[in-house]
Copies of this chain bind each other. A is one copy, B any other.
Amino acid sequence: MRKKEGDKQTAILDAAVQVFQREGFAGAQVAAVAVEAGIATGSVYLYFKGKDAILDGVFERFWCKVLERIEGLPATEPKDQLADQLGAFFDSLSEDRALAEVYLHEHHSFLARKSGVGFDAFARCVSLGEEVFSRGVKSGQFDKGISVSLGRAFVFGGVRASLEFWLSQDSLSAAQVRKRTLRMALSALTPRGLA
């Protein structure tokens, strides 16, 4: 797990994801992260202010990547675009099991701080999602009886839970879970009674 000497910040984040997954954030020791990153304990503090900042760093990197993907998506039909957005979120986590577990267990404490570059990226992702949702509502593709933020929260939560499910089993592949999850997500937002 020796990282390129040139990027200790990255090495620390990678190490942190591994250690946080194994021990949980609360149970993880900064010294263990340092060992995993192949550097000295004290060096961690040259790159991060403290333990919390490492977790923030993990999610900052994550959300910036997701944001990048989402912003790179072509503007298509609301339904398709929303599916692409949720898919990007799903993929960003399913590509890294350790990160996915850390997300499931520790993301709430990241959100609680409500500030920082990472939080802004997160908020922007949410915002982009809600924009697409709004467009869909206007065009009648999405149920207008659901508040936009509630709808966004619901499908987001559903995707999150699907990931958790995927991690817990071996029968379904990430692709299978992804496909079914997106179908459910869109279905959830689609007005019923309508064909």
Q: In the complex this chain forms, how many copies of it are found? A: 4
Does A149 reach chain B (CB closer than 8 Å)?
Answer: yes
Q: CB-CB contacts of A163-195 with B at 8 A, as 1s and 0s? A: 011000101100001001101111111101111
Contact among B109, B165, B187, B194 with A150 in the assembled complex (CB-CB below 8 Å): B165
The answer for the CA separation of A9 and B41 in the assembled complex, in Å, is: 22
**Would you call A151 and B105 a contact (CB within 8 A)?**
no
| Contact residues in B for A185 (Cβ distance below 8 Å) | 154, 188
Does A49 reach chain B (CB closer than 8 Å)?
Answer: no
A181-B150 contact, Cβ under 8 Å, with A158-B158, A162-B157: yes
Closest Cβ neighbor of A145 among chain B residues: B180
**Would you call A154 and B172 a contact (CB within 8 A)?**
no
| Contact residues in B for A181 (Cβ distance below 8 Å) | 150, 154
**Would you call B109 and A24 a contact (CB within 8 A)?**
yes
**Would you call A177 and B158 a contact (CB within 8 A)?**
no
**Would you call B149 and A165 a contact (CB within 8 A)?**
yes
Does A155 reach chain B (CB closer than 8 Å)?
Answer: yes
A147-B180, A153-B161, A154-B184 provided; 5 other pairs, C-beta below 8 A? A146-B180, A154-B162, A155-B184, A157-B164, A188-B188
